[in-house]
Structure formats: structure tokens, C-alpha cells
A = this chain, B = another copy of it.
Amino acid sequence: MLEELKDRVCAANLALAAEGLVFRTWGNVSGVDREAGLMVIKPSGVPYDQMTPEQMAVVSLESGQRVEGPMAPSCDAATHLVLSRRLEGIGGVAHTHSLYATAWAQAKRAIPAIGTTHADYFSGPVPCTRIMTDEEIEGDYEANTGEVIVETLGDIPPMARPGVLVANHGPFVWGETPAQAVECAVILEHIAKLASLSADIDPYPRAVSPKLLEKHYRRKHGPDAYYGQK
């Protein structure tokens, strides 16, 4: 069942670790198969060095129930489910506690778009959610975490701003595939580090102009992209 997707989700989880974004067992990647109505995700609390595709948990995209796999899915599965359901066009979600992105999340501050490196991947600041209410925490906490991410994104197209910081927690990012979600997690951590180092020099650096933001984003995305080989 979904053997190929399980392979890709397992590989993406291993890539997350290989990129140095995972500490202990914190961090997880999921992939979605919309036709099958299923989501594949890392099992909870499993060490990365022994991870196999067979261990991946398969859950229903609609109900969240486990339909296959020997192990309980990641604690954060409900967050992944909300994002997979609500964010149009995404095929994979990654969550990390990577150092610099988490530092911005803990400071409850959006990462400002202050450089072209940022603009190459995000069409504006990386937003940070509001603080969750006691009711949201006491209720279906993980699902509500997904809801507050969707609320924060608002009308922004998900692929133009492929990540959000959850206040006091850390980043959730996405892409068209699980592998692309991992790549986005890598880029976000780099951007977050760059922004931290800039903020050390100038605590509240001014954002790039809308024109520069658009120019760099369009160099790499959309019909007029001219970065790389055709």
C-alpha cells in the first residue's frame, strides 16, 4: 500500500536528519496521496538511524485514523493532516526544531525579508503565528496548531510562502513533494540564521523593497524564471 510514497517519505525523513536539522527524534516529514485520500508520516519517537519505509504510518487524510503501519504515527500527525487538507497544491510537510528557525519562533517574531537569499524562496516575511489560547491547547492541540498556521497564512498562496513559524514552538514548512518540504526546511534554517546574524548587527533591519523581493522571487519561480539551465 503506497509503497512508493512510503519510500519517499522515509527518504525525506532521513534527508532531514542528514541536513543536520534533527536533534534527537524531534522532527518529522509527511507526504500525501490525494487520490487515495491518505497521508504517510514518520512514526513517533523512532531513532533516525534505524528508520525503514515499512515503519511509516499511513493515516486517512479525512479521519486521521491509522490504516496501516506497525507503529503509532508522529504526535504531530494531526498538524500535518490539517495542513495537507487545507493548503492547496502541497504534497509534503516537514516539521523541525532547527536551531535558528526555532529561535525566531521562540521570540515570536516573523523573519523579515531582508535579503535576496530570502526573496529567492519566500515572497515576503516568514510569518509567525499568534500565541495559542488555553482552549486551543486543552482541546485538540495538534490539530489546532495546524489551524493557527492556516489562519496565519491567510490569503497568501501556500507555495509563495512555504512555511510558518509556530510561536513558542518551531517551523512547519511544505512543498509539492516530501523532498521539496525538506529542501524548504533547509533553506528556512539558513535564512533564519542569516537574519539572526543580521539582527546582531542591526536589531531591526529594514526589509528589502517590494521590487527587489519580486525580482528575486521571479528569477527562480514562475514563467519568467531565468535561474539555472532550461
A: residues with CB less than 8 A from B are 23-26, 43-46, 71-72, 75, 97, 99-100, 102-109, 114-117, 131-132, 134, 137-138, 141, 168-170, 187, 190, 193-202, 205-206, 208-209, 211-212, 215, 219, 226-230
Name the one of B109, B115, B134, B138 contacting A202, with C-beta atoms under 8 angstroms.
Answer: B109
Partner of A168 from B46, B115, B200, B201 at Cβ < 8 Å? B115
- Nearest CB of B to A25, in Å: 8
A201 touches B104 (CB 8 A): yes
B190:A196 contact, CB within 8 angstroms: no
Cross-chain contact A215 with B116 (CB below 8 angstroms):
no
Closest 4 A/B residue pairs (Cβ): A45-B228, A103-B197, A107-B202, A107-B201
Q: Cβ of A44: which chain B residues have Cβ within 8 Å of it?
A: 227-229
Report which of B46, B168, B190 forms a contact with A114, defined as CB distance below 8 A.
B168
Contact of A229 (CB < 8 Å), options: B46, B115, B132: B46
What's the least CB distance linking A135 to chain B, in Å? 9
A131-B209, A138-B215 known, 8 other contacts, Cβ within 8 Å: A72-B230, A106-B194, A106-B195, A107-B202, A109-B201, A117-B170, A134-B211, A199-B200
CB contact between A72 and one of B45, B198, B229 (< 8 Å): that residue: B229
Are the C-beta atoms of B108 and A205 separated by less than 8 Å? yes
Residues in chain B near residue A115, CB distance under 8 A: 102, 105-106, 168-170
Closest to A202 in B: B107
Q: Are A206 and B108 interface neighbours, CB within 8 A?
A: yes
Q: Determine the distance from Cα of A23 to Cα of B187 in the docked complex, in whole angstroms.
A: 9
A125 to B215, CA, bound (A): 29
